[in-house]
Amino acid sequence: MPRIHTTATIDFCSGYGALLFDCDGTLADTMGLHYEAWRETVEPLGLVFPHARYTSMAGTPTRKILETLGREQGIAVDVDTLLPEKERRFVERMHAVKPIPVVVELLAAAHGRVPVAVVSGGIRRAVVRTLEHTGLLRYFDVIVTAEDTERGKPHPDPFLAAARRLAVEAPRCLVFEDGDPGIEAGLAAGMDVVDVRPMIGG
C-alpha cells in the first residue's frame, strides 16, 4: 500500500529505484509568482481565483485550471490564447525564482546514486526555464510536463510516464510533492509520496 511521508533523508531515499520531483512549490519557490501571473491573466475576464482555490489546485495542469475556472464560473475562456499569456507573465517574473534548499539538498545528494525525474503540471518551456534559472536542470534524467500525457495530476499518468522513461517499476519510485492533486496522483500510481510542506514550512 503506498504511503505518505512528511520527511525524508538521503538514506531513506536510497531505498527506492527512482525519485520523482514536482517542480513548482517543491523544488522552486514559484507559487506566489505563478499566482500573480494567474490573477493578471484571468481577472480581466471577470474570473475570480481566490488564493485558497489556487493552492488547492497546485500541480494541476495549466490548461485544466483555465477550463475548470471558466466552467465553474460560467465564463467563456479561450484556453489556447490565455495559456501562453499566463506563462509569459510568469516568465517575466523568473528573475525572482529561488530554489527550495531542503528539497534541493536531497536532490543533489541523490544525483548519481538513483535516477531522478521532474514531473510537473506546468508547460515545458516554463518548467525548463525554471530549472535552468535555479541551476537544477543538470540533475534530471527525465522531464515530464503537461504536454506529455493526456491526463495530468491528480491522475497518475504523469508519474507513470516518468517511471516508464526511467525504466523503474512504479512501486519503487518515491514522489516529492507540495500539492494535494500531486500527492493524489503519486498514490494512484502506486508510489510512496513525500509531502514536502512540513519540510519547507508550508
Q: Same domain for 72 and 23?
A: no
Question: Cell numbers at residue 59, please?
Answer: 500541480
If one compares 13 and 58, the residue with the highest pLDDT of the two is 13
- Active-site positions read 22
Q: Same domain for 137 and 178?
A: yes
Q: Same domain for 110 and 83?
A: no
Angle subtended at Cα 54 by Cα 49 and Cα 60, rounded to the nearest 5 degrees: 120
**Sole residue written with cell 546514486:** 113
If one compares 118 and 58, the residue with the highest pLDDT of the two is 118
pLDDT the model gives residue 39: 94
Full-model pTM: 0.89
Q: From 72, 30, 25, select the one nearest 180 (Cα to Cα).
A: 25
Q: Same domain for 165 and 105?
A: yes
CATH number for the domain that contains residue 110:
3.40.50.1000
The fraction of the chain above a pLDDT of 90, given in percent, is 84
Give residue 44's domain range. Answer: 31-94
Q: Please count the structural domains in the chain.
A: 2
pLDDT tier for residue 202 given thresholds of 50, 70 and 90: low
Angle subtended at Cα 164 by Cα 79 and Cα 67, rounded to the nearest 5 degrees: 15
CA distance 155 to 151: 6
pLDDT of residue 131 exceeding 90: yes
